[in-house]
Amino acid sequence: MTDLPTRRSRRLAEVSRARAAAAGPPTVAIDLRAPAPVPEIVVGGRRDGASGETAEGGTAQGGTAQGSTASDRTRVMGILNVTPDSFSDGGLHQAYDAAVAHARDLVAAGADIVDVGGESTRPGAERVPVAVEQERVLPVVRQLVAEGITVSVDTMNASTAERAVELGAAVVNDVSGGLADPDMVRVVRDTGTGFVVMHWRGHSDRMHRNAEYSHAVEEVRREVELRVAELIVLGVREEQVVIDPGLGFAKRGAQNWEILAGYERFASIGLPVLVAASRKRFLDGVGSAAGATPAERDLATAAISLLAAERGAWGVRVHDPAPTRAVLDVWDAWRAARP
Ligand code: PMM
């Protein structure tokens, strides 16, 4: 059990432990603390699922990163937006077949988890009816689970989360950290699912108005920590939680860089951290020309993935896993060679 730093949150954690003991062991959908599975990483070859063999069929020279990587491998969460209007890939994977095909591509490109969402949260986005979200997301979740893919469901709706978990989703990724739907906490608590708790100050239509901070890092940290403490007192177990500072959500350009530069402050909460910078607007003009398309921000995204992995991030959430997987493989090889 990791200590949350404040006295209040320690007390809340004690309450949670007492409740958990009274309730008996909950179902655990995924062990968030377990080492990420180490894929067949071949130094100098491509990943082809066959341990130790390069794409050319030979044995890898220089060894594999397997076995020598630490138990703190950063997971790659590939983004699958089954939406017409997400900011970088809206409409591309909205049809069921296109969505499933893209999920397979994400996994082939190195995703450990596929994050399936049916409601855009881009700045200014309007809410989508729950029934529409479920029509988009649930058949895809069912199919991916059947194919053995680890799925997280990106939703603010408790009923969507509940049905997705029933279908086998291992993680609920809620950009509101359970604040948008009061029933979400019950679903997370009772199913024992992994829960990504993002920093959130309100729905997308109010995002910019809410981006007022006198010290972004400390305020976001405090709000995340407080939200986790509330969840714990409501019966969610600390072991279920991954925190996410919510890049781009109620944060203006430079504030996102401050959050990234303050990564260690979030890590010091003592919970796994997800970094979700992929293609976001604050990357515009950094590593690609100003005004470039969101997809042209993948190199900058991969650089952030590497910096996050080096700092021990639990995961990185990306639209294109390939460049991120490449840099993480480099990081694994680097670490594997340490004496
Ligand atoms: N960003 C988006 C959607 N879901 N989930 C988490 N945990 N963190 C994020 O920053 C986040 C998210 C924004 O839309 P996208 O799916 O196009 O990236």
Contact 333, 65 (CB under 8 A): yes
Please tell me the distance from the alpha carbon of residue 194 to that of residue 152, in angstroms, as a whole number.
Answer: 9
The whole domain housing 111 covers: 7-21+75-200+218-336
Quick check: CB of 197 below 6 Å from ligand 1? no
Residue by residue, pLDDT tens for the chain (339 residues) are 333 445 545 555 554 555 455 444 444 456 777 766 544 322 222 233 333 333 333 333 223 333 333 457 899 999 999 988 888 787 888 899 999 999 999 999 999 999 999 998 887 788 899 999 999 999 999 999 999 999 999 999 999 999 999 999 999 999 999 999 999 999 999 999 999 999 999 888 877 788 889 999 999 999 999 999 999 999 999 999 999 999 999 999 999 999 999 999 999 999 999 999 999 999 999 999 999 999 999 999 999 999 999 999 999 999 999 999 999 999 999 999 999
Please tell me the distance from the alpha carbon of residue 282 to that of residue 269, in angstroms, as a whole number.
Answer: 25
Quick check: CB of 320 below 6 Å from ligand 1? no
Residue having the nearest C-alpha atom to atom 11 of ligand 1: 276
Residue having the nearest C-alpha atom to atom 9 of ligand 1: 276
Position in ligand 1 atom list of the atom nearest CA 173: 7
Q: How far is the CA of 276 from the centre of ligand 1 (A)?
A: 6
Residue 317 annotated to the active site: yes
Residue 259 lies in a domain: yes
Q: Which residues pair with 174 in a beta bridge?
A: 197
Q: How far is the CA of 69 from the centre of ligand 1 (A)?
A: 28
Quick check: CB of 274 below 6 Å from ligand 1? yes
Please tell me the distance from the alpha carbon of residue 218 to that of residue 225, in angstroms, as a whole number.
Answer: 10
Residue 132 lies in a domain: yes
Name the one residue in this structure whose structure tokens are 């968030």: 32
Please tell me the distance from the alpha carbon of residue 323 to that of residue 317, in angstroms, as a whole number.
Answer: 12
Q: Which residues pair with 59 in a beta bridge?
A: 53
Residue 34 lies in a domain: no
Structural domains of the chain, count: 1
- CA geometry: angle 160, 127, 247, nearest 5 deg: 85
Residue 281 annotated to the active site: no
Full-model pTM:
0.83
- The pLDDT value recorded for residue 205 is 82
Count other C-beta atoms under 10 Å from residue 331's C-beta.
Answer: 19
Quick check: CB of 305 below 6 Å from ligand 1? no
178 by DSSP, 3-state: which?
A: coil
Pinpoint the alpha helices (H) of the chain: 7-23, 96-108, 130-146, 158-166, 184-191, 216-233, 253-261, 263-267, 298-310, 321-336
Please tell me the distance from the alpha carbon of residue 104 to that of residue 195, in angstroms, as a whole number.
Answer: 23
Please tell me the distance from the alpha carbon of residue 160 to that of residue 187, in angstroms, as a whole number.
Answer: 10
Count other C-beta atoms under 10 Å from residue 191's C-beta.
Answer: 21
Please tell me the distance from the alpha carbon of residue 151 to that of residue 160, in angstroms, as a whole number.
Answer: 13
Catalytic pick from 201, 280, 297, 325?
Answer: 280
Q: How far is the CA of 244 from the centre of ligand 1 (A)?
A: 10
Residue 238 lies in a domain: yes
Residue 121 lies in a domain: yes
Residue 44 lies in a domain: no
Residue 170 lies in a domain: yes
Best substitution site from 241, 280, 317 to test ligand 1's pocket, by max atoms within 8 Å of Cβ?
Answer: 317
Position in ligand 1 atom list of the atom nearest CA 246: 10
- The pLDDT value recorded for residue 130 is 96
Q: Which residues pair with 81 in a beta bridge?
A: 117
214 HSE (CA, 13 A, CB side)? 0
Residue 260 lies in a domain: yes
Contact 64, 101 (CB under 8 A): no
Catalytic pick from 317, 325, 335, 338?
Answer: 317
Please tell me the distance from the alpha carbon of residue 130 to that of residue 101, in angstroms, as a whole number.
Answer: 24
Tell me, what CATH number does 102's domain have? 3.20.20.20
Quick check: CB of 100 below 6 Å from ligand 1? no
